[in-house]
Structure 1
């Protein structure tokens, strides 16, 4: 197992990003953490420092490439990154009466989730390629496997992340850079609290973090947790469209406003 001494994690002010940051925190480990909420990001940083890690933090809207990209390269220049985890994400859904999300809400999710991932990864790739080393992890979702009718923008953004991760893994493997595509299902976070509907195979945040960490330590190309939920999504996608549509339409939920 490759020893990880320097880790970048986006979305570290809450949820999966914060959980992964605390999991990786240890003496001799340097963490580079980003988020949108200053108080919560600092709380994560304090918890990581208490475990012996050194921590650098940055408040950014990662849907905008600059100054985020320049900051990332400066961080890598100071302490070359072994692992880059693009975990930041937002969610939304359809309105009352299953009305469409509208351009603004759908575009916000595409910018934050898909473009935010690209803005995290692309500035660092030339440096990782030059070192012929490094590991990139992008966090998609089981919603990427078959679009959900009540969260079309989110599904599209996560499908884009999955495709992007699969593509750059094939591109970068011969150049010495590992890429993992993480496909999680439901787990206990503030984002999930806003989900009003069924949550099959729900995991605690700690169990999801442990499963992802195990997969990253093993340098797996794909980390799918839980597999049964993913298999259901894939099955719905492989069935004739009319049947698949009926199945996902019956999986009713509503996402309360918020980010």
Structure 2
């Protein structure tokens, strides 16, 4: 069988760690990138025990130029056939609906959008020359139905989805497949910091398996859980003022609850 070489960002915890463990087996090389050295070392060790060859790099995806250089160098040595741009952060509005602090906004934009693009761009030309490859952009259902208490997070995920949809036909013409993953709530450290309602939440291994299966069959996109996907689709069919009224009602209750608890905005780790 052909040797696999898979790059995953945000691999030290949550969905990224679950994806790394899902792919880890004999004949697979993993390039794992994250900021937290201790957590990433633990994930890397788990993957080695499962038989994978692992290289781990401690790097913040917001350092776009260093990230791009590293990926290009590794790909030149051992071609990467699958890249999963997974690293992400999120922050919520304050309890009274106050605007997000600028540093939180910029962290989300630079990690969720700029970091993802810097992860995949260095590989696109080499994949097209080889006539094969898989690109995975981890977006979110929040990109399909923006969340009033997370406007920047929703915007970055919507932008990432648009980037993938625009890029997909360009890559497909040369044999490279691109999948946009739009998960709902996943039980991770970052999502647990979110103090709102998390309907139909999945655990990280289940989400990783669903994304990996979609990537292997060459799916254009994958979104879950299905009931929430269908509800969002239905919401897009009703007039905007009706949709916005429902969102205002729901999130007014949620923000009010957070305000009573005295919660502060939280940015989760990639």
What is the TM-score of this pair, normalised by structure 2? 0.91
Q: Which has the higher contact order (CA 8 A, sep 6+)?
A: 2
Range with bigger deviation, 248-257 or 118-127: 248-257
Equivalent in the alignment of 2:217: 218
Tell me if structure 1 keeps the 8 A contact 2:85–2:119.
yes
Q: What's the CA shift for 1:118?
A: 0.3
SS at match of 1:67: helix
Equivalent in the alignment of 2:206: 207
What is the TM-score of this pair, normalised by structure 1? 0.95
Q: Please list the CA deviations of residues 38-73 of structure 1 after superposition, one character each: whole Å capped at 9, or x if unmatched.
A: 111111100000101010111112122211111001
Moved >6 Å (runs of 4+): none
Cα RMSD between the aligned structures? 1.6
Inter-partner Cα distance in structure 1 for 2:265 and 2:106: 17
Inter-partner Cα distance in structure 2 for 1:234 and 1:145: 9
SS at match of 1:247: helix
Q: Which runs of 5+ in 2 are unaligned?
A: 259-263
Equivalent in the alignment of 1:108: 107
Q: Report matched runs for 1:9-48 at 5 Å.
A: 9-48=8-47
Range with bigger deviation, 243-252 or 28-37: 243-252
Tell me if structure 2 keeps the 8 A contact 1:196–1:256.
no
Inter-partner Cα distance in structure 2 for 1:90 and 1:225: 20
Equivalent in the alignment of 2:163: 164
Q: Please list the CA deviations of residues 134-160 of structure 1 after superposition, one character each: whole Å capped at 9, or x if unmatched.
A: 000000000000211100000000001
Equivalent in the alignment of 1:257: 266
Q: What's the CA shift for 1:233?
A: 2.2
Tell me if structure 2 keeps the 8 A contact 1:236–1:247.
no
Q: Report matched runs for 1:102-181 at 5 Å.
A: 102-181=101-180
Tell me if structure 1 keeps the 8 A contact 2:92–2:194.
no
SS at match of 2:202: coil
Q: Which runs of 5+ in 1 are unaligned?
A: none
Tell me if structure 2 keeps the 8 A contact 1:9–1:34.
yes
Inter-partner Cα distance in structure 2 for 1:130 and 1:251: 49
Q: What's the CA shift for 1:164?
A: 0.7
Tell me if structure 2 keeps the 8 A contact 1:8–1:81.
yes
SS at match of 2:80: coil
